[in-house]
Structure 1
Amino acid sequence: MTTEQQVLDRIERARRRAPKVREERVTLAHGAGGKASQTLIDDVFVTAFRNPALEALGDGAVVGVGVDGPRVVMTTDSFVVSPVFFPGGDIGDLAVNGTVNDLAVSGARPLHLSAAFILEEGFPVADLRRIAGSMAAAAERAGVAVVTGDTKVVQRGKGDGCYITTAGVGVLERQDALGPAEVRPGDAVLVSGPIGEHGVTVMLARGELDLAADLESDTAPLHEPIAGLLDAVPGGVRMMRDATRGGVATVLNEIAVGAGVSIVVDEAAVPVRGPVAGACELLGIDPLYVACEGRFVAVVAGDRADAALAALRAHPSGAEAALVGRVVADPPGLVLLKTAFGGTRIVDLLVGDPLPRIC
């Protein structure tokens, strides 16, 4: 047995073991979207709430309404970004766009949102008005309404200004089956635009680093380019995910493990703008792991890749969409990156959190 095969076998044995949280207390890594997050979710929450809709662990849960009623998608998300205002957006439009996008990548047309606010005593009312205004504008752009919500205030020092939790409901109007079970060898992997801009923008906005770059967050609703993609290649889209916490690398790992396939990515094909690449290089961060808030990954049938790419590029937000990789059969459950130097390396899930609180 070769050394490479021994390594692959060890990885497979580790993945077959039931996840178990070994820490006695929650750490920041448990909220980073990597291995620690997945272990916490599987060991604590899936174990406690186990049901078929939850176990899919998608961006949203598909549920039925009555016997002959419509199929709807439900999703929920919390936003704790710091600072709450950053170039290109704020926590308000981030919350709306993030929830709309979770519904859209699940194949649903977004309809209604709820919004719950956790406010710290002393938070400026003027800032709260600005955030609410951003949410209203984002909801109008996405064609949704914020129809219910809640507000709580905690003592000074017991929070961090403003946290927002949103939930969303959308309706499935197409018959497309989307999910890891649909992914198969030969499929193409697309990214809807340059990656990493949100995470790097927020990191620089904190002012903790002596770096400057002409960057804005990519926060944006994705329902329109996704609808255009689904219309252009009916039955040809296997699954989609928006690349938020953990970035594109985490999404690709989730797809590979869920589908039992391998994904081979061409590093040179991954769209990364110069300022993002430069900042990541200085900080020793791989752009593949940096969060986006207006980009998604789509797996499409290999023979429909050109049509899918053209459909994405027809929308302004997808003008720089790219085909970045292919799905292959082996080794199952792994993401492999063909580097610019001609080598190949494994792109695994992160254990820690290089960029805390970016969404």
Structure 2
Amino acid sequence: MKDTISIGHGGGGRLARDLIKNLFLKHLNNPKLAPLGDSAVFELNGSTIALTTDSFVVKPIFFPGGDIGKLAVCGTVNDLSVVGARPLYLSCGIIIEEGFSLKDLEAITLSIKESADKAGVEVITGDTKVIEKATGGNIYINTAGIGIIENSIALGIDKINIGDKIILSGTIGEHGIAVISKREGFDFESTIESDCASLNEITQKALKAGCIKFMRDPTRGGLAAVLNEIAEDGSLDIKIDEDAIPVRDDVKGICSMLGLDPFYIANEGKVVIVAAKGDAENILRALHNDPLGQNASIIGEITGKGEHGVYLKTSYGGTRILDMPVDDPLPRIC
């Protein structure tokens, strides 16, 4: 591991995983932290509780389809939702640079309120700190979220078996493209909006429709990072079909122009589901009945245990390895 931190250590890829495993887990490891889930899950007074935390440093703070406030709420709600929890309460800590616009701060606060109301959660505690002026116009948000897991739901990579199907809830790449387009001032013919949305309703619908083994939202590092995490942590072989993965044509075009791969681009309103083979179609129908899941697709399956790798059947009939990203090609995307 390097002697200093690079921007890539925050990208959700190989560098981030190595930092977590080789430094943080070395000193902080315990049974609740070790699975490195989106949320910690534990029992408290007879209830199953999910607890998560997240930080948001997106640049720019306002982008097509959202802003840092909406992103903070949705991202935290989603980390609870993908472990099967019903999100209840959030904390919100805001670090503001001296000179930041009060008008922008109020707009972000109103966005937090609107997003929390829409997701059915409450912000019940918070903190504010101000730091000296540095680069100008910066604000950072840290959250925690707590939810309750009901109906004996217990998800985990250890529950995945050969033959289980992999479902993606919708098109990929919009969030990353929306943010980078705004950041760099690109003026494309079509404006791509972030897919930023809370997943609590759609994940609960999916859980009621059939046997789900595991869920994760493909944020930093995109779909490729999530699939590689599942493969690596479960010692699994995964095969996916490129033609089954929904990507909008305009996102494909912009990625091609920028030299980016949509499989590695962050999303903020999608979920990857590993489901029992016999229940996959029922779950897919449930997703299609939700506004966020109309483009959902079964994109692949678990093909082996013991080794680990992600293999993409290409549109041309070949097969290529879909590697874990080293870092995120678009830093400060969330």
- TM-score, scaled to structure 2: 0.98
**CA-atom RMSD in angstroms:** 1.2
Aligned to 1:128, the other structure's residue is in SS state helix
Q: What residue is the counterpart of 1:241 in the other structure?
A: 216
Match for residue 327 of structure 1?
302
Question: Higher RCO, 1 or 2 (CA under 8 Å, sep at least 6)?
Answer: 2
Quick one: structure 1 residues 211 and 107, their matched pair in 2 at CA, closer, same or farther if it must change by over 3 Å? same
Cα distance, 1:312–1:197 mapped onto 2, change above 3 Å: same
Q: Does 1:47 align with 2:26?
A: yes
The corresponding residue for 2:261 is 286
Q: 5, 26, 43: which one pairs with 2:5? A: 26
Q: 1:293 to 1:49 in 2, by over 3 A?
A: same
**Alignment counterpart, residue 36 of structure 2, candidates 40, 52, 57:** 57
Identity across matched positions, percent: 48
Deviates more, 1:38-47 or 1:201-210: 201-210
Give the letter aligned to residue 252 of structure 1: L
Structure 2 counterpart of 1:305, one-letter code: A
Question: Greater shift after overlay, 313-322 or 329-338?
Answer: 329-338
User: Which residue number corresponds to residue 37 of structure 1?
Assistant: 16
Instruction: Give CA-to-partner distance per residue, 1:133-155, whole Å, 9 cap, x none.
Output: 00000000111000001111000
Quote how far apart the aligned CAs of 1:159 are. Answer: 7.0
Deviation at 1:208, TM superposition (A): 4.4
1:256 to 2:235 alignment: no
Distance apart, 1:306 and its partner CA: 0.6
SS of match in other structure, 2:167: strand
Query: 1:228 is matched by which residue type in structure 2?
Result: K
After superposition, the C-alpha distances for 1:268-306 in whole angstroms (9 at most, x for unaligned) are: 110000111111111111101100000010000011111
Q: Gaps (5+ residues) in structure 2?
A: none
- Give unmatched runs, 5+ long, in structure 1: 1-20
* Structure 2 match to 1:16: none
Would you say the 8 A contact 1:263–1:334 is kept in 2?
Answer: yes
1:229 aligns with 2:213: no
Q: Residues 337 and 346 of structure 1 are in contact (CA less than 8 Å); yes or no, is this contact kept in structure 2? A: yes
Change in CA separation of 1:226 and 1:350 when aligned onto 2, cut-off 3 Å: same
Determine if the alignment matches structure 1 residue 94 to structure 2 residue 71: yes
Cα contact 2:221–2:327 (8 A) shared by 1: no
Q: Determine the structure 2 residue equivalent to 1:188.
A: 165
Distance in 1, matches of 2:186 and 2:107, equals 26
The answer as to 2:130 corresponding to 1:153 is yes
C-alpha contact (below 8 Å) 1:199/1:217 kept by paired residues: yes
SS in 2 for 1:275: helix
Among 82, 93, 104, which residue is 1:127 paired with?
104
* Aligned-pair CA distance for 1:352: 3.3
Deviation at 1:258, TM superposition (A): 1.6
Letter of the 2:289 partner, please give it: A
Matches of 1:97 and 1:180, distance apart in 2:
23
Give the distance between the partners of 2:219 and 2:159, measured in 1 at CA.
Answer: 22
| Pairwise CA distance, 1:354 | 1.2
Count residues in correspondence.
Answer: 334
Q: Is the 8 A contact 1:184 1:259 kept in 2?
A: no
Q: After superposition, where does 1:303-318 map in structure 2 within 5 Å?
A: 303-318=278-293
Contact 1:28 1:353 in 2 (8 A): no
Deviation at 1:174, TM superposition (A): 2.1
